Chains A and B, each alone.
Chain A
Amino acid sequence: MNPVFREFYSERDVVYEERRMRTESTPLGKYDEAFNALFWEASPYKWPVVGWPSDVSSITKAQADAYFGTYYAPNNLTGVLVGDFNAAAVRPLLERYFGRLPRGKTEPPEVVTTEPEQIGEKRFRAEAETSPTVRVWWHGVPFVSKDRTVLDVLTDILSGRTGRLYKGLVTGRQVANEISGSVDLKKYEGSIQVEGTVKEGKDPAAVEQAIYEELEKLKTEPISAEELQKVKNQAKANAYRRLSSPFSIAIQLMIYDGFGDWRYINTYAEEVDRVTAADLQRAAKQYLTNENRTVGIFLRKTGDAAAAADDPEIAALPAPAQGMARQQIARIQAETDPAKLREGLTQMEQAKAQVPPEMKPVFDLILKRAQERLAALEGQKK
C-alpha cells in the first residue's frame, strides 16, 4: 500500500550481485545473454531481465519510483487465487483488501517496437567452459496466434527420446550426445529453439548439418498418423499433469493471462487435437528457414593455463620436462591439418631410438597425444 524504498541503494548492489550470480560467474550466462541479444534485432526481448551492467549501477531512486508507480498498479496487475474456497465468498474480500490500491495515474505505455522479419542467417561462435554445443533459434510466433499450438506440436515431434532429433543425431548418426527442441511463446514475439551437445571427437558442423537434414524431412514428408497421435497423447496427458497442484495452476493462469489469453489452460488440449500433418509441414516450411535462423556454436575453451595445469599426465612428468611437454601438446591440440600431424608422427617414430631414457616418458606422452589428435581429426571428417 505505502511502500518506502528504504533499502534502494543496497538493493541496487544486490541486483548487481544477482547479475554476477546468474549471468557473469556461470559457465554460459554471458554467452546466453549475448546470443539472445544477437537473435532479437529490435524487440526489447534483446534486453536481459536483470539489466545490462551499466543500467543496474546507474538506476536512480526517482526512476525506480516512477517505474513502480506505472507498472505496479492494479490496472497492470493480475492476481490469481487457487484452492479450496468459494469464489463468490472470496470476491468481496478481494475488493476489500486489494480494492484499496489506487489506479495508476498513467497507463503503462504500449510496446511499439516489433521485430522486423529476419533477412539473413546470423552466427555466433564462442569459446566457453562447457561441452561443445550447437544452438539454432528461429523466429516464431507470439502467444496469441493461430500457430502457437502447431509449433508446440512440431517441437514435440522433434524432442524426447523417440523424437526426430534424438533418433536422428544421438542414436542414428551418433554425432550428438543430447539434443532437444522447444518453442518459446512470449507476449509479443516467439522463437523455436534446438540445442544439442556434440559427441566427443565429432565436429559441431556435422551436428548443425544433421539438424537441418532432420528439419528438411519435416518439410518434404508428411508426419505419419501414428507419430502425430503419439505426440498428441503425450501433450494431452501433460495438460492434466500440469493441473496436479494449486501452485502449478496458479502459475499457468498468471503467465497465460500476462501473455493475453488465460483460457489456454482449458483450450490447449483441444487445440492440440486439431493440429494436422499438413499444418506441421506448412509450419516447418514457413518458419524453419535459413534466413530466419541464428546459429550459436559453443566450443570448449582450450589452451588456457588452468586447463594445461590440470592435465594429470603432464603433472606426472618430471618437473623440468613439464613446460616443454605442455608447449608441445598445446601445439598438437591447435593443429587442424591431419597431414602435418602424420608427418610429425613419422619423424617421431624415426627418432624414437635416440631418445635418452630420462626423456622417454615425455616423448611417449607427446606421441600419444599426437596420435589421439590425429584420430580425432580423422573422426571429424567421417
Chain B
Amino acid sequence: VKTTRLLFALAIVATAAFAAASAVAQQAAIPDHPDKLVFAPIVYTPPSAKDDRVVLKNGMVVYIAEDPTLPLVNIELTLRTGSYLEPAGKEGLAALTGSQIRRGGTRSLTAEQLDEKLDFLAANVGTGIGETSGRASLNALRDNLDESLKVFVEMLKEPRFQEDRLALAKEQALQEMKKRNDDSEDVEAREWNVLLYGEEHFSNRFRTAASVQSISRPDLVSFHKKYVHPANMIAAVSGSFSRPEMIRKLEAAFADWPGPAPTVPPVPSEIHTAAPGIYRIQKDVNQGRVSIGLPSVRRGDPDAYALEVMNEILGGSGFTSRIMKTVRSDEGLAYSAGSSLRFGVYYPGSFRAEFQSKSRTVVYAAQLVLQEIKGMREKPVTEEELDTIKRNLIETFPSTFGSKAQTVGIFAADEYTRRDPTYWQTYRDRIRAVTAADVQRVAQKYLTPEKMVVLVVGDQKEIDLGDGKHQTSLEALAEGRKVVVLPLRDPLTMKRP
C-alpha cells in the first residue's frame, strides 16, 4: 500500500493544454521551482447550454451530447421534488419513495425480477430523493439500450413498491438511525447544520423511529404520483448514440405518461441560526472536531466572487491557504484544517472553518483559526496570494467541463436551479476583477467573529485541560458570548434528554 501512495504522488493527469504549454517551456532553461514555470495562456471557451438543449413534446427538458468514446449511454434525470415536501410526521418518506422506485419492482416485474433483469443487462440504475431534488439514472451498454431504457421508464412510471422490500428498507433505516451517534464526524455534521439553519429548517427534520414506522405503501404511491412526471424532469444524456435517434427514443419512451404535470411548491428560504457562542458536545474520543462559522449568501450575490477568492486564501486551497499553513505546517496540530464556503441556491449558504486535533490542543488550534479569520479583516491580502489563487481558479476552470457527461450534467443542474445563464461565460473575468481591497471588504462584511457559531465535539474534560503551554480556554475564546453544553440526541427520537 505504501507503494501505491508513492505512485499517487507522481501521478500526472495531463490535459490538452499540457503539451502546448510544455512546448513553450522547452525553449528555456528549467527553473529551480515549479512556481517559476511559464505557461502559454490557456485559450478556452466554455460550452454553451443552448447547443445541447432540447424540449420533448411532453415538456421534458433534455441536455444531450454525443460521446462515442465508450459503448455506453448515460441518462441522468433530475426530478423536481424533495424531502421539504414531506408531510409532518412522515419524515423519511421522500428518501424511501426515492429508493423504493428502484428496489420495489415495476408493474410487470417483481422486485426480484427487476433486479435480475437489470443485473443481466449490466445496466446500472439508481434512484433517490434528497432534500431539494430527486434523481434517476441509467448507465447502459449501447447494445442493449432499448431494452434497458424500456425497463428504466416502466420503473419510473409504474413502480410496484413491493411490500417486503419496503419493510426491509424501513428496518435498514432503523438500524442506520442507531448508528447516528457512533461517529463524532456524523454528530458534528448533523449538529452544525442545526446550529446554522435551526431545528425547524426542513434540512433538519430528522426521520425518527416513529416517523419511519408510520410510513406505509400508500404513502409512497401518493408521493410518487404527486411528483414523478416528465414535465417535472430535466434529463442529461450523453454517450454513444446519434443525437436525432436518441431524441426519438426519448420521445417514445416518455410519451403517454398518466396524470397532469404537477405543480411543486417552492423550497422555503427562511433560516434560524443559533445565537452566537460556543456549543459543546461530549464524545469519548481522543481527537476533538471543531467547526467555526456562520451563514453566507445565496448564489448570484454580487459579493460571491470576492468571497470565493477570500475563502481560498483563508482556508479553501489546501496547503496554499493560511489556516493549513498555520495549524498544520507550522504547528503540527491537525491533519486536515481549512475552510469551506458554500453559496445557497434556495437559502443562504455557509462559511465554515474546521479542523480536528487531539483533545489537549483543540483550544489552542481554535484560537489560531480565529486569529486567521480576524487577520483577513484587519489587513489586505498580499498581491502574491491574490495572484496565486486567481490563477488557480482561472487555469483549472476548463476541467469543470472535462467530459460530455459532466457538461450536460452541469447544464441540467443549472436549469433545475435556474442559475444565471451567463455564469460560466463570465466566471473567469469576474474572478480576474477581484482586488485585495474587495477581499478585505467582504471579509469585514461577512467574517464577523462576534456573530459566529463554534461547535466543539469531543472529550470536553480533556479539551479543557489544554496543552499546558498556551493560556487560553474555550470560555476566553467565547469573548462574552454564551457557552452551551448540548447533550447528544436520542438516535431514535432525535430528542435531547
Contact = CB atoms under 8 A, between A and B. Distances in A.
Interface stretch (B79-87, B279-287, B300-308, B433-441): B279-287
A230 B120 contact: yes
A83 interface: yes
Interface of B is mostly: mixed
Given A27-B182, A27-B183, A241-B72, A11 B15 contact: no
Interface stretch (B327-335, B375-383, B388-396, B474-482): B327-335
A177 B286 contact: no
A24 B116 contact: no
A179 B179 CA distance: 17
Interface string B313-344: 00000000000000011111111100000000
B171 A72 contact: no
Interface in B7-21: 7-8, 10-16, 18-19
Interface string A289-311: 00000000000100000100111
Contacts of A20: 286-287, 356, 358
Interface in A62-100: 71-72, 76-86, 89-90, 93, 96-97, 100
Contact of B7 (A77, A197, A241): A77
Contacts of B164: 171
Nearest to A79: B10
A364 interface: no
Contact of A240 (B8, B13, B72, B328): B72
Contacts of A306: 284, 488
Given A85-B16, A97-B30, A186-B1, A25 B285 contact: yes
Given A14-B332, A233-B122, A247-B13, A161 B19 contact: no
Contacts of B287: 17, 20-21, 24-25
B8 to A, nearest CB: 7
A328 interface: no
Contacts of B139: 241
Contacts of A10: 328-332
Contacts of B493: 312
A209 interface: no
A327 interface: no
A202 to B, nearest CB: 11
Interface string A107-135: 00000000000000000000001110000
A245 B11 contact: no
B335 A17 contact: yes
A258 B405 contact: no
A254 B492 CA distance: 45
A199 B170 CA distance: 12
A241 B488 CA distance: 42
B5 interface: yes
Given A25-B287, A93-B22, A310-B488, A17 B14 contact: no
Contact of A21 (B116, B181, B335): B335
A200 B115 CA distance: 25
Given A14-B335, A244-B405, A246-B13, A49 B1 contact: yes
B119 A162 contact: yes
Contact residue range for chain B? 35 or more
A248 to B, nearest CB: 10
Contacts of B13: 80-83, 246-247, 250
Contacts of B331: 10
B184 A90 contact: no
Interface in B165-199: 168, 171-172, 174-175, 178-179, 181-185
Contacts of B285: 24-25
A321 interface: no
B336 A250 contact: no
Nearest to B174: A200
B43 interface: no
Contacts of A244: 69-70, 72, 403, 405
A99 to B, nearest CB: 11
Contacts of A45: 1
A81 B356 CA distance: 34
Interface centre among A17, A96, A186, A238 (most CB of B within 10 A): A17
Contact of B328 (A14, A83, A246, A312): A14
A178 interface: yes
B11 A310 contact: no
B286 A25 contact: yes
A327 B12 CA distance: 61
A312 B183 contact: no
A220 interface: no
B141 A86 contact: no
Interface string A168-195: 0011000001100000001100000000
B469 interface: no
A310 B332 contact: no
A228 B405 CA distance: 31
Contacts of B50: none
A61 B115 CA distance: 56
A17 B115 contact: no
Interface centre among A71, A78, A244, A245 (most CB of B within 10 A): A244
A160 to B, nearest CB: 7
Interface string B356-373: 111000000000000000
Contacts of A243: 69-70
16 contacts: A10-B331, A15-B335, A17-B332, A78-B10, A84-B15, A84-B16, A90-B18, A130-B182, A161-B115, A171-B112, A171-B168, A177-B172, A236-B122, A243-B70, A247-B13, A254-B7
Given A25-B287, A129-B181, A258-B4, 6 more contacts: A90-B19, A90-B22, A129-B183, A177-B168, A255-B4, A312-B493
